[in-house]
Chains A and B, each alone.
Chain A
């Protein structure tokens, strides 16, 4: 992976990979433990963060927006395990809820772009002709904007807030899925089984969804994993710029910008949210690479 935001499409995984390499969860874990321990650990970290974020209401020592004026900017240990911010809000609670937003926005937007992008890619690759031309020019156009700028442009139309960020991030990632799906579709539609289905009278829609889609599933899955970290960073960046989560909603990105004023006085208000964001992105990246290697050993990075 060279592109920082996962926007560069991963090379297409060959068809039938999911099918031929399907195995159970335990053998997969065993395989990872033997060949890619870092990937396994990263997967565990991702899982732990997802669980902690999901269980935020149970784990958080306080409500994330509860202001306690008497305990402002207290260092870790004095009030709450990770200290408090300028408004006396518990930092650990805000980080837990912030991770929730990161994962939710990242996950929902990447899923949305996967659905739309996959449909576009299938249509472009399978139908060819002018639908393909239109889709490819659309992806070119969207690729012509740096991710952050495109997202900002979208937010400027739909306004700030949770839903807008999801839409913005989804728009940024849709063309990638369209590209990733179109390539293999071009090859798959030449396959005998596709020709057979067409000869048997299957409609274009049925062929695309029943015969082509399962064979590009591996590529889509890999791209999902690779795009997730970029989407999370993009959400954090928008919130950092004040275009994402609306205060006082805790977001890892907005915490970094809100607490900048006090960072000399209370470095923990910057360090812990930053650490949480960095760890989340790093773990997803390493885990994503592991998934890619698992599904398609041909793409394994030179180690």
Chain B
């Protein structure tokens, strides 16, 4: 197990994180215009001497590899620079937003599992029945509808008609559980619909495969009731591929948060990244993208890990 983990770390995770850091660093140097201008922003009249001093203080007079290594060193120590807009450390800005996005992503995952697992189970057990046909159709729509369209429709048809659910805005948990949950229900559905559709499909097809296996015949033959066979044997095994889907898609949830947080005006990481791009706050762009990519890579590693725990064959291959 440990060798598997170490192997993944050395061959995939570290090179990828290195590539990510290199990419984010170069992107910031590729931006049109002089980096000093960007740091100063529009407005103040700055003499050449002052410009040189700024360039020196940011290490911009050094060769690029040196600049990269310095930046990497700072980043690894958790120093991501300061936001050009607020002047606050980028790390603090990110830390303030993480819990919001985390809650949104967790609720979206919860929503999709609560909807998709029973739907997939019923679909497979009553194959081609009413539930199956409806669930498959809904899943197809769920896979095709962009999250910002679904969110807009939810606002139009639910929030505007049923004021219990707000059209936008976020209420922190400190102001009460229900107001907090209420403000995240529609965003979670918009974000989780796709995951729900993917999980439903995977549960269904994995369960159908398991239901056709011989060990189920054995289980039935020894007298187990139908329900016990399906739930106790087939469903448990069918969950193995479902775990992977959830893992992979949880990474994609992170990308979805950019849009959903913007649509519902939720102050999470995604919105922070987008605002940073729109305001050309480059240290913040750098910090947020680096953070999200790192989380994405770690979630994938975690998925591999869980998968290898459930299915030992993965470790040897």
Contact = CB atoms under 8 A, between A and B. Distances in A.
13 contacts: A3-B248, A4-B143, A137-B19, A140-B12, A145-B289, A146-B252, A147-B252, A256-B148, A260-B155, A274-B153, A278-B141, A282-B145, A301-B201
B31 interface: yes
Interface in B199-225: 201-202, 204-205, 208-209
Given A3-B249, A141-B23, A241-B258, A285 B296 contact: no
Given A140-B12, A145-B289, A256-B148, A4 B252 contact: yes
Contact of B255 (A148, A243, A263): A148
A121 B297 CA distance: 22
A286 B17 CA distance: 36
A120 interface: no
Contacts of A237: 146, 148, 259
Which secondary structure dominates where chain B touches chain A? Answer: helix
Interface stretch (B48-56, B60-68, B270-278): B270-278
B84 to A, nearest CB: 14
Interface residues of B, number: 56
A264 B163 CA distance: 13
Interface string A226-247: 0001000100110011110000
A270 interface: yes
Interface stretch (A44-52, A149-157, A181-189): A149-157
Interface in B2-55: 12, 15-17, 19-20, 22-24, 27, 30-32
Q: Which 5 A-B pairs have the closest CB atoms?
A: A146-B255, A141-B19, A282-B144, A302-B205, A4-B194
A11 interface: no
Contacts of B204: 302
A246 to B, nearest CB: 14
Interface in B238-280: 245, 248-249, 251-252, 254-256, 258-259, 262, 273-274, 277-278, 280
B27 A274 contact: no
Nearest to B149: A274
B173 interface: no
B18 to A, nearest CB: 8
B95 interface: no
Given A138-B19, A149-B258, A229-B144, A4 B149 contact: no
A260 B293 CA distance: 31
A264 B146 contact: no
A2 B248 contact: yes
Nearest to B30: A157
Nearest to A278: B145
B135 to A, nearest CB: 14
Contacts of A264: 156, 160
A267 interface: yes
Contact of B16 (A144, A155, A242, A286): A144
